[in-house]
Each structure stands twice: as C-alpha cells, then as structure tokens.
Amino acid sequence: MDLAQRYEAAAPTWEGKIARLGYPTAYAHLIEAAPVSGRVLDIGCGSGALAAAALARHGPRIAALTLADPSAGMLADAARRFAAAPVPVRTVRAGIGAPAFAPGAADTILCAHVIEHLDDPAAALRWLAGRLAPGGRLVLAVSRPHWCTALLRWVWGHRAYRPDAVLAMLAAAGLTGARPVPFPAGPPSRTSCGYLAQRARPTARPVAPACA
C-alpha cells in the first residue's frame, strides 16, 4: 500500500485520531502567531484541521479558502467540514507541484506535515514560496526528530527535520523572517514544530534624478 492509499484508508477516522493526540490545539497555537489573511491555500489539508484553526482565529481577514489534498477521502472530509464556512471555499485534488496553482496565487499558504513525505523538501519549499504573492506568508508544520516520530515512520514513512534544518531550507527558498513556533504541550510538542516565514516584497528601484 503506497502513501496515498494509506491516507485514503485512514480518512474515515483521521480527525478523531489527531484530536486525541492534541493536534487541533497545537494548530490553534501556531495560528495565534500567524497573520493569516487574504487568499488562503491549505495544501495537503487532510481533514482541514489547520484551516479550521485559521478560520476560527482570522475569519474576517480571509477572503477565500482553497483546500488541496491528493487524497479524495481526506478532501471530501475537509469539504464537509467547511460546507457552511463564511468565506468562499473550493477544493482541489492535488498536492505540491501541481500545475493547478499559479505563481503568486496565494496570500497565505498553510502546509502541515507534508514536506517530510517528499523526496526533495527543499524543492517543495521553493515551490510553495513561488505560489505566494509578494509579502505572502507561509504557515508550516514539520515533524522533528524524536523517538515517537521514529515509531510513526514505520507507518507513514516520513522523515523528520531539526528546526535549524527547516529554517535553512526556508531561507534557501527565498523566504524571509523565518522563525520556529514550538508547540506547547502533548505529543505535538515532541514530534513536530511550527514555522512562520514570508515572501519578501520586491524592493523599489530608486528613481534617478532628472537632468537639469
């Protein structure tokens, strides 16, 4: 069974499992530190837990929400969750690297526990940076090394990255102001870490004075 099939099989009970582990609370803590606004893309959204935290905290600042995931089951659960959302919501069955997302199309990107599943997480971060509009924000959660994470790897096959490695990849992707937002308690505090980063705005070129 490949990774997509595993997530498809897990979809019916996914939200209950992550709730018991404390991830919705951890995501709410991360979103509290994140200035989410404008056109929001949650890529690898799963059942929509991170997007739900963003909508609960920053709803009036969000203009539209796009939920994206390669798993049809996960995406269907997320769509049901936001059926009555106060903002326009669309769903896209796709993941990082898909041509469905144009450069600069998002003001905020949410991405929780996705890049550690990919063969080239640095390339994934560069792609995410390219989907952000100038000044746009990336809200990221990534697995970090811990014996609990090692156990989870037997099931999901994902890697784990120390915060300094994630910060280096964010900087290499051209994102600025990157900082970790550690989760405060429970399994998320041991197995994961949150991060915030921003796509820089282009610097205006100075205008040469007119000749007298």
Q: What is the pLDDT of residues 156-174, one digit of tens each?
A: 557 899 999 999 999 999 9
**Ranges of the chain whose pLDDT falls below 50:** 154, 212
Provide the mean pLDDT of the chain: 89
pLDDT at residue number 12: 75
Compute the distance between CA of residue 212 and CA of residue 188 in angstroms, rounded to an integer.
64
Q: Which residues have a Cβ under 8 Å from the Cβ of 151 and sit 6 or more positions away?
A: none
From the number of C-beta atoms within 10 Å of its C-beta (0-12, 13-18, 19+), residue 159 rates as middle
Quote the pTM value. 0.89
In CATH terms, the superfamily for domain 3-199 is Vaccinia Virus protein VP39 (3.40.50.150)
Compute the distance between CA of residue 42 and CA of residue 131 in angstroms, rounded to an integer.
12
pLDDT at residue number 21: 83
pLDDT at residue number 147: 53
What is the DSSP code string of 135-177?
A: EEEEEEEEE---HHHHHHHHHH------HHHHHHHHHHTTEEE
pLDDT at residue number 49: 95
Q: Indicate the pairing of strand 106-112 with strand 38-43.
A: parallel
Listed in order, strand segments (DSSP E) in 8-87 are 38-43, 62-68
Compute the distance between CA of residue 30 and CA of residue 104 in angstroms, rounded to an integer.
23
Q: Which residues have a Cβ under 8 Å from the Cβ of 167 and sit 6 or more positions away?
A: 178, 179, 180, 195
Listed in order, strand segments (DSSP E) in 55-204 are 62-68, 89-92, 106-112, 132-143, 175-181, 192-199
Q: How many residues does the chain have?
A: 212
pLDDT at residue number 4: 67
Compute the distance between CA of residue 203 and CA of residue 210 in angstroms, rounded to an integer.
21
pLDDT in tens, 113-160: 999 989 899 999 999 999 999 999 999 999 998 655 555 554 555 789
pLDDT at residue number 13: 73
pLDDT at residue number 202: 79
